[in-house]
Structure 1
Amino acid sequence: MNWIKHPALLKGQHVSLVPLNESHIAELVELAQDKSIWKHYAIDGSDKDKLKTSLEQGIADREGGTQYPFVIQLNENGQLIGSTRFLDIQENHQKLEIGWTWLHPDYWGTNINTECKYLLLTFCFEELQAKRVQLRTDENNLRSRKAIEKIGGQFEGILRNDMVRDNGTTRNSAYFSIIPEEWQQTKAQLQELLASE
């Protein structure tokens, strides 16, 4: 029995998070060709085969209950603009990670990422009753670190050599989390951000 009941569809004002399926893969692969998207990731998703493999693995891991991948879809026209997922799902400890979020550069600096995080976190704390939601990013990805702190993520530290990239180099990761005691304040912050963006 998987903690997240499939299909989980999260609908916001501007975007919907729709469960990833095989029919989305070709469009995502084409969308992900800009190398700047992947600067701080463990894989270079502009490599079509690598991204296709990762997306297929996400679908397989959803069946096993350890991941739950979504596509990010504009409500106004149904266009796909990126992807995100729940990772490291551990129902026995009531915790999971939000990650693998990427957007086409046309949508950087918009409220789309904030709305995605709002939808994901609301689901985690109000549907799943999660005890811990983790977020992590490359230690050097200052834009991402600031974005996580802006939405209420509490910095926990740096894990050294946390990941090995597909080019063989290692990545240190900055870890953040949100716990239930912080959720109402975080939710209010997110709502304020969305209203002002």
Structure 2
Amino acid sequence: MFEPDTDDPFEQFRRWFAEAEASEPNDANAMTLATADSDGRPSARIVLLKDFDARGFAFFTNTESQKGRQLEVNPFAALCFHWKSVRRQVRIEGAVTSVGDDEADAYYASRPRGSRIGAWASQQSRPLADRPALLAAVSRFEAEYDGKDVPRPPYWSGYRLTPLRVEFWQDGEFRLHDRFLFTRSGEGAPWTVQRLFP
């Protein structure tokens, strides 16, 4: 049986995430990101968590991608982590804001050079004629930045989800799972925690 041993969902997440990193075979930081357009039509995909602290959960992407365009008109999202190795799930919901330029620059600079070139070459989420067209774009930007630093594209940055709801789910026998929901009314407000029926 699982009982939260802290009244801070960020600390609870930190503990579970450390256990997942030690047991998941690949990408414990993989999370489903669900966004919606201005009409409320949802869209979901897997992205990688790159940072988390008391401010929230950060990820990086092309801001002109489908998720970037959706977040521009509807700056709310949901995240879901599912760690099969420990039979746990964490669901997170809240408002999304852009990270600052300094934070985006620092993370971009930490990426492999090929990934930085790829950020220039890929017009993410838009139609692509064929694979050779993508490889040609990669070659063009490799030539352009040959022997030079690869700057961050103006359309590439990060987002941070600041949670208002965080739910921890632990698998239980006969589907009698343990679920605990942390909620707050706004950023900086105190958290309350409630056990949920499975």
Structure 1-normalised TM-score? 0.27
TM-score where L is the length of structure 2 = 0.27
Structure with a larger share of its residues in helix = 1
Structure of higher RCO (CA pairs closer than 8 Å, 6+ residues apart): 2
Larger of the two Rg values belongs to structure: 2
